[in-house]
Amino acid sequence: MLEALGVSRRYGWRWALKDLNLSVSPGETLALLGKNGSGKTTLLKTLAGLLKPTEGAVRLSGQPLSREARGRIGLLSHEPMLYEGLTIRENLEYFARLFGVERKAMMTRVELLAGTLEMEERLDEPVRVLSQGLRQRAAFMRTLLHTPEVVLLDEPFSGLDTKAVERLESVIELMRDLRDYIVVFTTHDVAKAFEVAERIAVLAGGRLVYEADVQNSSEEDVSAALDGYSGGSG
């Protein structure tokens, strides 16, 4: 289980997150919604261990986020975090070494991900020549390369065409079917949240203002929660 326990995060005098409690269980996909500045990206980075809470704690399997525990997490951020002068394959080989993934396992993983995301013919192209959508798919491959237990995705569908969105959705659905992944993704698209996730959470002003299973909620409920707050400062 991934847990945020009373998490607050301050930038100078501004609170980006304030007294936030959230838990996500294995096999669960959580959609995190909120207006710009609501704290979504700060929360993902805090859950990934890239930012330390000013107050509170993040725990994985009941333990604090150690360096080893952070290796069990995959983060897809707004930046693809790929070397533009290298090919996709070279990037993946490099990151596989960083995560200690053996070469044979890496090759099998790359083949699976490339096939699912329809990237087989792009693996030997430099990142600098790729479109935004292809970069996003390549970054998604990097995120999943070391088979993380927790997958955190910041606006994964943003800027993608319909076909690319379908490919990413298929991977998320595959992870959900395996029943051992924790997936948290941010989105501005309420309909997409209901289509992909099993739970919905809404942030405003760095606080959790709405949370429900999709079966016990509606797009109207979530939209009302979003419209009822002016956003925030994180």
Q: Tell me, what CATH number does 51's domain have?
A: 3.40.50.300
pLDDT at residue 178 is higher than 70: no
Considering the domain architecture, whether residues 122 and 141 belong to the same structural domain is answered as yes
Q: Is the pTM of this model over 0.85?
A: yes
Given 103, 123, 147, the domain boundary residue is 147
Given 132, 147, 162, the domain boundary residue is 147
Considering the domain architecture, whether residues 156 and 62 belong to the same structural domain is answered as yes
- The encoded tokens of residue 130 equal 């790729």
Q: How many domains, the chain?
A: 2
Full residue range of the structural domain in which residue 1 is found: 1-72+150-234
117: pLDDT confidence band, cut at 50, 70 and 90?
A: confident
Considering the domain architecture, whether residues 140 and 180 belong to the same structural domain is answered as no
Considering the domain architecture, whether residues 156 and 53 belong to the same structural domain is answered as yes
Find the helix or strand (DSSP H, E) in which 229 lies.
Answer: none
Considering the domain architecture, whether residues 140 and 164 belong to the same structural domain is answered as no
Considering the domain architecture, whether residues 93 and 40 belong to the same structural domain is answered as no
Sequence-distant (6+) residues with CB within 8 A of 64 are 57, 58
pLDDT at residue 170 is higher than 90: no
* pLDDT of res. 234: 43
